[in-house]
Chains A and B, each alone.
Chain A
Amino acid sequence: MNRRAFLSWGTAGMVSLSSAVAVSMGAVARFLMPSVFYEPPQTFKIGKPGDYAFGVPTFLVDEKIFVFHDRDRGFSVASAVCTHLGCTVAHFQSDQKFHCPCHGSVFAADGSVVHGPAPKPLNWFEVILARDGQLQVDKDKIVPATYRLMV
């Protein structure tokens, strides 16, 4: 085998070997990324409008949301997941603010950060009235804090 053939075969070999390695690494990463998530759906129904009292927000434990029902302005749904590191915030009636127990972030009534390390306001989710007359929340649809559903 002459020098030229050696070099070209060698290069071809190295290129194929490294691409094989790269492809395998990609395959491993993809393998580890689940194709199916057995997690609660992002869109779900939360009952009839009449189930919700005016004033005090209702905290839905499994969904981790606060449902606000205002007599004049209707429904809005806020996320209870702190935007800092994901702890569940509590809504205090005393000051109408959200307080996070983990690193002390405080969010105003409209979800904006008042204090603490949280980098973003709390999320507000779209809430609509489904055909069967139930409220339906979609966590994939983030809406402005001013969003309201009138029923």
Chain B
Amino acid sequence: MNLIREIWQSIVRRDPLSTDKGKSELVFLNVWLHIHPAKVKKENLKFKHTYYLGFITFFLFVILVTTGIALMCYYRPYPAQAYQDMKDLQFAVFLGPFLRGMHRWAAHGMVVCVFLHMCRVFYTGSYKKPRQFNWVVGVVLLLLTLGLSFTGYLLPWDQLAFWAITVGTNIGSYAPLVGGQIRELLLGGHTVGEAALLRFYVLHVAVLPSMVILFTVVHFWRIRKDGGLSRPVWKLKAKKPEGLVTIGGTPEVAQLQAVPASTDKTYGLMEVVTGKPIFETITPEEEEDVAFSYPFAFFREGVALMATVTGIMAISLFFHAPLEELANPAKTPNPAKAPWYFLGLQELVSHSALLGGVVAPAVMVLALLAIPYFDRNPSRRPKDRKLAIWLFTIFVVVNLVLIVIGTYFRGPGWALVPPWVHVVAGAE
């Protein structure tokens, strides 16, 4: 018994969780948990502040990595084998369809959630000082998420995959000057073929996932360094918006004094650095509004994790990921559609490839990146930022409408066909 106790002690090395010290040590003595603060503001745990969308996005990514590694055991990235391996996964491999389904639905879910998370951050004004840069990191994560989806789309090597990537990469070749070269670099050739499949595979399983991990680490680190999550909008006071954010502002309190080093403990930076912190701090009168991360924050995150995993599992039990016929470079399906989140783009491209495929997306990404620096309004209260909210809502609605048109209203030959009219497939 004593030995077991000793082993456990050697692993956790903290006081019992019944004590406050133990609760804090659980967080900051653990390499995985210490991304959290030991205590969090209760208001930030509220579901209606974040909807836990960032967490759900992250958990979906974890599901994708796990199921993806499993799928890699059966997948070979060569045109002659790839499709056959998908068929095997579908019909011969134990749990194959389930794992493929989880991977596919989690991928769609991640695109949806990362977008909703961005909307939440926008509508709560959480990209404002001092969080501007974390919004930029977020936009990079959004692009990486789309890149992961796009590269994964080719791997089954079916008709859907082949033509979505043919169309998608040809959009890139409209970029002025370097377009053609970029496409050649991406495909490792002039058409979507063997070399392209291998390159997309490398991007999908190695390059992009590691970049997502790198940027997620920065994203989470910045949340801490920006002073934790932003205050929920309903807590913002009318008169003194963001009174606690002091970056660059004139100091309202006396300068902090350098604290003489004490002799009996080690120091965190807060003891030796003078000057004002750049982020929101907890004032003594707010002290009662905070709770220990253990168990309050961890419990909620655990619930979000389990809801995400069980949700994806449940969907995958009932719906299998689609797989069309083997890729056939000679026969374009009619209509040939890109992945749904690119159908808005394809809709624009159907009017003009250069404007819709290159200019519009470039402007959109630049505009997203510029938002926190362009929006000089310091207030985060919805009342004070009607214009910003209107503009962003228009951006969201236009995107959704284009996607809906592309998905449901485009029939053979990209003709406008409402979904309730059944078209007898292609005159050929």
Name A's B-contacting residues (CB within 8 A).
29, 32-34, 37-39, 61-62, 64, 84-88, 90, 92, 94, 99-104, 116-117, 119
Total A-B pairs, Cβ < 8 A: 83
Name B's A-contacting residues (CB within 8 A).
163, 166-167, 170-171, 181, 184-185, 188-191, 193-195, 329-336, 346, 349-354, 412-415, 426-428
Docked-complex contact B349 and A87, CB < 8 angstroms: no
Instruction: Report the separation of the CA atoms of residues A88 and B327 in the bound assembly, to the nearest whole angstrom.
Output: 13
**A33 proximity list for chain B (CB < 8 A):** 181, 184-185
Docked-complex contact A104 and B332, CB < 8 angstroms: no
Q: Provide 19 A-B residue pairs closer than 8 Å at the C-beta atoms, listed in order of the A residue.
A: A29-B185, A34-B195, A37-B190, A38-B195, A39-B193, A61-B331, A85-B167, A85-B170, A86-B166, A87-B167, A88-B329, A88-B330, A92-B428, A99-B413, A100-B413, A102-B414, A104-B413, A104-B414, A119-B354
Docked-complex contact A86 and B414, CB < 8 angstroms: no
Closest A residue to B199 by beta carbon equals: A32
Instruction: Report the separation of the CA atoms of residues A110 and B49 in the bound assembly, to the nearest whole angstrom.
Output: 61
Q: Which of B189, B330, B334, B346 contacts A39 (CB 8 A)?
A: B189
Given contacts A62-B330, A103-B349, 19 further A-B contacts (CB under 8 A): A32-B185, A33-B184, A34-B189, A37-B195, A38-B194, A39-B189, A64-B329, A64-B330, A85-B353, A86-B170, A87-B166, A101-B334, A101-B413, A101-B426, A102-B167, A102-B336, A104-B413, A116-B350, A119-B353
Interface of B is mostly: loop
Shortest beta-carbon distance from B180 to chain A in Å: 12
Interface of A is mostly: loop
Closest B residue to A64 by beta carbon equals: B330
**B333 proximity list for chain A (CB < 8 A):** 101
**B170 proximity list for chain A (CB < 8 A):** 84-86
Instruction: Report the separation of the CA atoms of residues A64 and B190 in the bound assembly, to the nearest whole angstrom.
Output: 14
Given contacts A85-B353, A86-B167, contact A104 B185 (CB under 8 A): no
Instruction: Report the separation of the CA atoms of residues A99 and B351 in the bound assembly, to the nearest whole angstrom.
Output: 16
Instruction: Report the separation of the CA atoms of residues A94 and B427 in the bound assembly, to the nearest whole angstrom.
Output: 10
**A100 proximity list for chain B (CB < 8 A):** 332, 413
Shortest beta-carbon distance from B172 to chain A in Å: 10
Docked-complex contact B351 and A117, CB < 8 angstroms: yes
Shortest beta-carbon distance from B158 to chain A in Å: 16
Closest A residue to B172 by beta carbon equals: A85
Instruction: Report the separation of the CA atoms of residues A69 and B332 in the bound assembly, to the nearest whole angstrom.
Output: 25
Closest A residue to B334 by beta carbon equals: A101
**A29 proximity list for chain B (CB < 8 A):** 185
Docked-complex contact B427 and A92, CB < 8 angstroms: yes
Shortest beta-carbon distance from A31 to chain B in Å: 10
Instruction: Report the separation of the CA atoms of residues A64 and B328 in the bound assembly, to the nearest whole angstrom.
Output: 12
**B188 proximity list for chain A (CB < 8 A):** 32, 34
**B332 proximity list for chain A (CB < 8 A):** 87-88, 100-102
Shortest beta-carbon distance from A115 to chain B in Å: 10
Instruction: Report the separation of the CA atoms of residues A100 and B191 in the bound assembly, to the nearest whole angstrom.
Output: 18
Docked-complex contact B335 and A39, CB < 8 angstroms: no
Given contacts A33-B185, A37-B189, A101-B426, contact A87 B414 (CB under 8 A): no
Instruction: Report the separation of the CA atoms of residues A63 and B331 in the bound assembly, to the nearest whole angstrom.
Output: 12
**A99 proximity list for chain B (CB < 8 A):** 413
**A62 proximity list for chain B (CB < 8 A):** 330
Shortest beta-carbon distance from A32 to chain B in Å: 5
**A117 proximity list for chain B (CB < 8 A):** 349-353
**B329 proximity list for chain A (CB < 8 A):** 64, 88
**A103 proximity list for chain B (CB < 8 A):** 346, 349-350, 414
**B181 proximity list for chain A (CB < 8 A):** 33
Shortest beta-carbon distance from A144 to chain B in Å: 23
Q: Which of A84, A94, A104 contacts B353 (CB 8 A)?
A: A84
Shortest beta-carbon distance from A17 to chain B in Å: 24
Docked-complex contact A104 and B350, CB < 8 angstroms: yes
Shortest beta-carbon distance from A119 to chain B in Å: 7
Given contacts A86-B167, A87-B163, A117-B353, contact A101 B330 (CB under 8 A): no
Instruction: Report the separation of the CA atoms of residues A86 and B172 in the bound assembly, to the nearest whole angstrom.
Output: 12
**A88 proximity list for chain B (CB < 8 A):** 329-332
Closest B residue to A104 by beta carbon equals: B414
Shortest beta-carbon distance from B260 to chain A in Å: 38
**B336 proximity list for chain A (CB < 8 A):** 87, 101-102
**B412 proximity list for chain A (CB < 8 A):** 101
Instruction: Report the separation of the CA atoms of residues A37 and B412 in the bound assembly, to the nearest whole angstrom.
Output: 34
Given contacts A33-B184, A101-B413, contact A85 B349 (CB under 8 A): yes
Instruction: Report the separation of the CA atoms of residues A84 and B354 in the bound assembly, to the nearest whole angstrom.
Output: 10
Q: Which of B167, B195, B415 contacts A104 (CB 8 A)?
A: B415
**B426 proximity list for chain A (CB < 8 A):** 101
Instruction: Report the separation of the CA atoms of residues A143 and B334 in the bound assembly, to the nearest whole angstrom.
Output: 29
Closest A residue to B346 by beta carbon equals: A103
Docked-complex contact A101 and B335, CB < 8 angstroms: yes
Closest A residue to B352 by beta carbon equals: A117
Q: Which of B166, B184, B330, B334 contacts A61 (CB 8 A)?
A: B330
Shortest beta-carbon distance from B413 to chain A in Å: 5
